[in-house]
Amino acid sequence: MIDISRFNSNYLKSKAPEIFAIARKADSVDELRVNLAQLAHDMMFEAFDDYDTFSVGSIMRVRDCAKVLVRMMTRRSEDKAGYSVAQAIMDIAQKKPRPDLSPAFYAEMLYLFLGLQGRGPGKNLADLHLTPSQYQDQEAAIERSSQLDKLIDEIKIRVGKNISGLDEESIQRRTRRREKILTELGASDKNWNDWRWQIEHILRDAEEITQLLSA
């Protein structure tokens, strides 16, 4: 069981002080968006430029987290999401109350910021399998090919643990849920396939959603 109580504003600020130092100095949310995007770009460049220091797995983490942060800072992303991560970061930096921010938000930001540093909650698969070679030329290429084979084998095992939406069990579970929802709402298959009915019956109550999806 994960202890989610530690995922809060104080813990986040203690683990990513440079982020909140930038946020405190920004005069506006727009300025903060630009500064954080620039920070992500600089950290990604540093990881690629100083590749002798960073492991392969760390470089991949920095690259992917930098791309995510840059996209989150764009106005388009904010408009599409109807939410500003930059505003939330600025509010946290300025100690403004944000009761809407859940432990999930703080956890997501924490691991995103740690990823920018090449860090994370566990060992990257690339670091486990793509180890430096003592060989050169063809022998090095053969060894790396073997490492890649082992890496993809482990990825396949992990992906295989996730049930596909086309799996028979998944299909049956969705069917049971649909039947339960239709029964509870006194609706028919015709209603289910009518987008107007779907819009009219959007659920917003967490307890009601949990009850209907428990099948």
Do 54 and 93 lie in one domain? The reply is yes
Confidence (pLDDT) at 122: 65
Q: Reply yes or no on whether the pLDDT at 1 is more than 80.
A: no
The number of distinct structural domains making up the chain is 3
pLDDT tens for each residue of 21-37: 999 999 999 999 999 99
Domain membership of residue 153 as a residue range: 131-162
- pTM strictly above 0.75: no
Do 41 and 61 lie in one domain? The reply is yes
Length of the chain: 215
pLDDT tens for each residue of 95-150: 999 999 999 999 999 999 998 988 766 666 776 777 777 888 899 899 889 988 98
One-letter amino acid at 187 equals: A
70 vs 39: CA distance, rounded Å:
9
Confidence (pLDDT) at 164: 78
Do 52 and 77 lie in one domain? The reply is yes
Do 189 and 208 lie in one domain? The reply is yes
Do 29 and 99 lie in one domain? The reply is yes
Check if the beta carbon of residue 62 is closer than 8 Å to that of residue 118: yes
Quickly state the pLDDT bin for 154 (edges 50, 70, 90): confident
pLDDT tens for each residue of 53-108: 777 778 888 899 999 999 999 999 999 999 999 999 999 999 999 999 999 999 99
Residue 33 has, within 13 A of its CA and on its CB side, a CA count of 15
Do 82 and 174 lie in one domain? The reply is no
94 vs 35: CA distance, rounded Å:
17
Region of residue 186 (left: phi > 0; alpha: psi -120 to 50; beta: else): left
Confidence (pLDDT) at 108: 93
Quickly state the pLDDT bin for 173 (edges 50, 70, 90): confident
Q: Reply yes or no on whether the pLDDT at 2 is more than 70.
A: no
Do 176 and 111 lie in one domain? The reply is no
Q: Reply yes or no on whether the pLDDT at 52 is more than 60.
A: yes
Confidence (pLDDT) at 123: 66
Do 24 and 83 lie in one domain? The reply is yes
Do 43 and 73 lie in one domain? The reply is yes
Which DSSP category does 2 fall into? -
Q: Reply yes or no on whether the pLDDT at 162 is more than 80.
A: no
Do 143 and 47 lie in one domain? The reply is no
Do 85 and 17 lie in one domain? The reply is yes
Confidence (pLDDT) at 121: 67
Do 20 and 37 lie in one domain? The reply is yes
How confident is the model over 155-166, as a mean pLDDT?
A: 80
